[in-house]
Amino acid sequence: MTAIRAVTAGLALLLAAACTAPTTPRSQSRSSGATVCAKPSGRLPAQTPTTIDVIEQAYHCILGNYYSGSTMDARSLLTAGFVALTRELNLNGRDVADATMPALTGDRKADWTAFEAVYRKVTDQVPDLRDKLAVVTLEAIVASLGDNHASWAHGGGGRPPDFYDGDGYGLGLQANVNGPQVDINPGTALPPLFVTTVEGGAAQAAGLRPGDIIESIDGSAPFIDGKLTPVIAALYPRYPEADPVELRLSRPGTGRRWSVTLKPGVYQRDLATLQGVTSKLLEGGIAYVRLRGFAPDAAERVFRAISRLRTGRTLTGVVLDLRGNGGGKAPEAIRLASGFVHGKVTAYMCTVDAKCEALRTDDTVELLNLPLAVLTDRGCASACEHFSSTVKDLGIGHLVGTRTAGLISGPAEPFQLSNNTMLAFPTRHHLGPGRETIDRIGVPPDHHVPLTPQDAAAGRDPALAKALTLLEK
């Protein structure tokens, strides 16, 4: 359970932070929120332990600034925190007789006072657990928002001491069930579980190949009755998790079945596969551009790649490969869309009382005037879904592949807490160009073309093939 949470937290944190929108001043918002936690600026001093005062600050920070902070029942935050507190006591074999949830009235201030009194009374009896209890309590409060762009960055494993820029950590493989599906959206994964990419490390050393079917993980089936089981989290350990993982594998075509034990660790990755934008010219004058994330300048890099392929020849279309694109800056998604359409709304940013700001195309971007096909999968998240929903809703191209991740609650905005940890969450929620909710639902492709183990083993790319046939029409 911890492992799952860690994977999820890590991913959510990455996504949340990566798609922080340009900050809008919040000073005009509810005054309690404006003063209780501030936007971080510059270098963060060293973190100090989390205390009840930090939790209190976070509680008011959420109520004052979070998307639905003004309307939510604050008791749900305190209850979630208290549940985690009592579970942690129990896990440590140190339950406390006074650890009874105080009566709450719905008055945010009074309820906090009641909560704090019990919290102090309980933690004073287990002083050696104090730091840990504070951490699990605040983690649970943030998790209770059920928002994939809400996170609390604190301590954490950091980086392994032998880490180099570009390295990966883990088993060295990617499977068809990716990070967000492991916990945030488990209902979206389909059996069988199979390897899609061998990046290096233990998986490479053990001779795994794309297409290898993972029949069991540490002796447990990844799917039971077609539903993903929590054991899947073991495929994606995060530092400092280092327990070996046993996989039972089969290789379609050869009938081979065998087991391997893979030890998580730092591994070197092929630097060429890490480049944010790669491109090539395909037959028939089609520009293929792969964009791995919506980093700053992502749109310009895509435009330059297309322009370069266009020099001295006539292009007939563009395939934009956004599979595995975990998002990034919303303005880059808007800018990229603006190469294909002008004068339109690409998304709405809405407050809980349905006041929405329309995000519009940047019509200073030159139109490419090229047919477009976009490849998506369950790894296309956040800003990637902003772009994909724009393509679909505005009819500027074909979406091919599988549904996007459904990880786009809204742009996470960071807030610094007094112990120099960082809380981040959306103050507004994201809706698509048709004012539809994309979060947790994803953007369905126009053409559903999933990858099979046989395709992966043979190096076939049926989604790309489909995209090419669409562009040739």
Partner 1 sequence: MDLSMRRILAVAAGLVVLAASACSAPAPPRSATGPSPTPTGPAVLPATSGAHPVGTTILHVNDTSRPDPWNLDVATRELKVTLWYPTKQKEGERAPYMTPKESELFLKGSGIAGVPSDTLSKTRTNAIKDAEPAGEKLPLVVLSPGWTKPLSSLTSLAEDMASRGYVVAGIDHTYESHVTTLSDGRVAECIACDNDTDPGFGTRVVQGRADDVSFVLDQLPMKWDGSGLIDRSRIAMVGQSMGGAAAMAAMVKDSRVRAGIDMDGTTYARIPKSGFSRPFMFIGSELHVPGHDASWDRDWKLLTGWKRWVVVKDTVHQAFTDLPLLGPFLGVAPEPGVLPAERGAEIARAYVAAFLDEHLKGGRQPLLEEPSSRYPEVELCPEHCGKS
Structure token digits, residue 230? 């929590």
- Decide: is 40 part of the binding site for partner 1 (CB under 8 A): yes
- For the CB of residue 130, give the shortest distance to partner 1 in the complex, in Å: 22
328 touching partner 1, by CB under 8 A:
yes
**Should residue 295 be labelled a site residue for partner 1 when binding is judged by CB under 8 A?**
yes
421's CB contacts (< 8 A; 6+ apart) are 47, 50, 54, 152, 153, 154, 155
DSSP classification of residue 294: B
153 touches partner 1 by CB under 8 A: yes
Residue 182 in contact with residue 233, Cβ under 8 Å?
yes
Q: Which residue has the tokens 């049926």?
A: 462
Q: Which listed residue (162, 225, 283, 353) binds partner 1 by CB under 8 A? A: 162
Q: Which of 465, 415, 427, 437 is nearest to 36 (CA)?
A: 415
Out of 78, 424, 449, 470, the only residue in the binding site for partner 1 (CB under 8 A) is 424
Residue at 283: amino acid letter: E
| Nearer to partner 1 among residue 13 and residue 457 (C-beta) | 13
| Closest CB to partner 1 among residues 166, 240 | 166
Least spacing, CB of residue 343 vs partner 1, in Å: 26
- Among 30, 132, 263, 269, interactor with partner 1 by CB under 8 A: 269
Residues 16-33 as b/e (b if ≥16 CB within 10 A, e otherwise) read: bebbbbeeeebeebeeeb
Q: Report the residue from 146, 166, 284, 434 that binds partner 1 according to the rule CB under 8 A.
A: 166
Pairwise CA distance, residues 133 & 127, whole Å: 10
Size of the site for partner 1 (CB under 8 A): 47
| 10 forms part of the interface with partner 1 (CB under 8 A) | yes
Q: Please check whether residue 268 is in contact with residue 167, taking contact to mean a CB–CB distance below 8 angstroms.
A: yes
- List b or e across 427-443, with b for residues whose CB sees 16 or more CB atoms inside 10 angstroms: bbbbbbbeeeebbbebb
The one segment of 125-133, 241-249, 301-309, 465-473 that binds partner 1 by CB under 8 A? 301-309
Contact 81, 116 (CB under 8 A): no
Distance CA(421)–CA(350), nearest Å, equals 27
Which position among 300, 316, 419, 460 is part of the footprint of partner 1 (CB under 8 A)? 300
297 is a contact residue toward partner 1 (CB under 8 A): yes
How many residues are given for the chain? 473
Stretch touching partner 1 by CB under 8 A, among 174-182, 202-210, 272-280, 314-322 = 272-280
Nearer to partner 1, 43 or 473 (CB): 43
Q: What is the nearest approach in angstroms of partner 1 to the Cβ of residue 15? A: 9
Binding residues for partner 1 (CB under 8 A): 10, 13-14, 16-23, 40, 42-44, 46-47, 151, 153, 156, 158-159, 161-167, 269, 271, 274-277, 295-297, 300-301, 304, 308, 328-329, 414, 422, 424
